[in-house]
């Protein structure tokens, strides 16, 4: 008989938990985990390969523990007068969030967010020993300043997560909501802008709120707009004192020399990399319009995916799409499914498959 987790002296607060696990399957069209399905452009890939090759020559040595060049690259990319002293990075934005929880959460402390939202927030919170509390959203998944302030004041959390735009709903989050949350707590406020590049161009980032707000953190990722999901690079901007706190909990040399080289090279090609965003936004809006024509209800999305309701049997629809070679996501919201905006061909394949299900073909 094989050993089970419960047979081991595992931490009591981890018993009964399940790991993060989006379905993985070798289907022709995978639109379930909000990846950028466009490959890295050839000329950018060549430059990244050259940078990694150069880094390999010194791979016998530990990397720059402070990843100075990469932090400078992120500061330049984000703008807003940021300096490298206000930048942190790690192996994906999940590790960035984990560092924040290790530094400002932990046993006896509470993290708070508004459900439904990114499923890793409770997992990361509990794994680092803190308690997770979920608030609520409006019926259309939006947030209003007065409502969020009241909920945060009642919960008195040490950390608040604001996914802006929100995953899995795609909902925008106004700066007035972020300000209201910040004023309602004495804790750390983390604005997770993983999908910010897909928001309308005129939209202001939470980075504009940072001056004078030393407890405000703005998290980003290279996984989405930069098509860098496989490289695992996330980063944040915050007060320099927050960065100092994160140094207390990170592992030594946590960003490899190869990761630093690849990310720095990709950042040097930011305009080229971001040209894919316009195409993805176009496919996202095409998905929303077609879903509406098929009598579904797509929610407003400022991301690279669309949540849609009006699905009579999400499990059956998901399976029918799977059987047609299309992988999307059932995120557990009743009557709803979520689909990533892919290339034009992938988007067409999804929409045609969904239409064929509806027609009984």
Secondary structure (DSSP) of 302-351: SSSEEEEE--S-HHHHHHHHHHTTEE-B--S-TTEEEEE---HHHHHHHH
pLDDT in tens for each of the 361 residues of the chain?
789 988 999 998 888 888 877 777 789 999 999 999 999 999 999 999 999 999 999 999 999 999 999 999 999 999 999 999 999 999 999 999 999 999 999 999 999 999 999 999 999 999 999 999 999 999 999 999 999 999 999 999 999 999 999 999 999 999 999 999 999 999 999 999 999 999 999 999 999 999 999 999 999 999 999 999 999 999 999 999 999 999 999 999 999 999 999 999 999 999 998 889 999 999 999 999 999 999 999 999 999 999 999 999 999 999 999 999 999 999 999 999 999 999 999 999 999 999 999 776 5
Say how far residue 114 (Cα) sits from the centre of its chain: 15
Please choose, from the candidates 103, 70, 100, 99, the residue with its C-alpha nearest in 3D space to the C-alpha of residue 84.
Answer: 70
pTM listed for this prediction: 0.95
Q: Domains plus CATH for the chain?
A: 5-40+272-359 (3.90.1150.10), 42-269 (3.40.640.10)
Spatial separation of the C-alpha atoms in residues 37 and 106, rounded to whole Å: 36
What are residue 30's DSSP bridge partners?
327
Please choose, from the candidates 277, 12, 296, the residue with its C-alpha nearest in 3D space to the C-alpha of residue 129.
Answer: 12
Say how far residue 351 (Cα) sits from the centre of its chain: 25
Tokens of 347: 């988007």
């Amino acid at each position: 008989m094989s050993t089970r987790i419960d047979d081991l002296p595992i931490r009591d607060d981890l018993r009964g938990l399940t790991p993060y696990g989006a379905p993985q399957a070798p289907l022709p069209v995978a639109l379930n985990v909000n990846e950028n399905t466009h490959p890295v452009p050839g000329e950018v890939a060549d430059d990244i390969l050259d940078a990694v090759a150069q880094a390999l020559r010194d791979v016998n040595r530990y990397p720059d523990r402070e990843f100075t060049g990469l932090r400078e690259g992120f500061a330049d990319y984000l703008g807003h007068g940021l300096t490298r002293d206000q930048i942190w990075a790690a192996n994906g934005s999940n590790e960035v969030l984990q560092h924040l929880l290790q530094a400002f959460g932990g046993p006896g402390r509470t993290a708070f967010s508004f459900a439904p939202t990114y499923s890793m927030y409770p997992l990361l919170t509990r794994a680092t020993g803190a308690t997770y509390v979920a608030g609520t959203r409006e019926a259309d998944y939006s947030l209003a300043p007065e409502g969020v302030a009241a909920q945060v004041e009642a919960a008195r959390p040490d950390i608040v997560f604001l996914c802006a735009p929100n995953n899995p709903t795609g909902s925008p989050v106004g700066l007035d909501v972020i300000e209201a949350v910040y004023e309602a707590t004495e804790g750390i406020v983390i604005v997770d802008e993983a999908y910010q590049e897909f928001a309308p161009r005129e939209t202001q980032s939470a980075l504009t709120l940072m001056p004078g707000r030393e407890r405000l953190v703005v998290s980003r990722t290279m996984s989405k707009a930069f098509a860098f999901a496989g490289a695992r690079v996330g980063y944040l901007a915050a007060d320099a004192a927050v960065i100092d706190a994160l140094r207390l909990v990170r592992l030594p040399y946590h960003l490899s020399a190869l990761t630093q080289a690849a990310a720095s090279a990709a950042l040097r090609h930011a305009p080229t990399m971001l040209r894919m965003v316009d195409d993805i936004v176009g496919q996202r809006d095409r998905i929303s319009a077609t879903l509406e024509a098929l009598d579904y209800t797509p929610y407003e999305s400022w991301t690279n995916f669309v949540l849609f309701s009006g699905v009579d049997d999400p499990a059956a629809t998901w399976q029918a799409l799977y059987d047609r070679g299309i992988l999307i996501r059932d995120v557990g919201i009743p009557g709803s499914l979520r689909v990533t905006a892919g290339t034009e061909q992938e988007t067409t394949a999804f929409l045609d498959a969904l239409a064929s299900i509806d027609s009984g073909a």
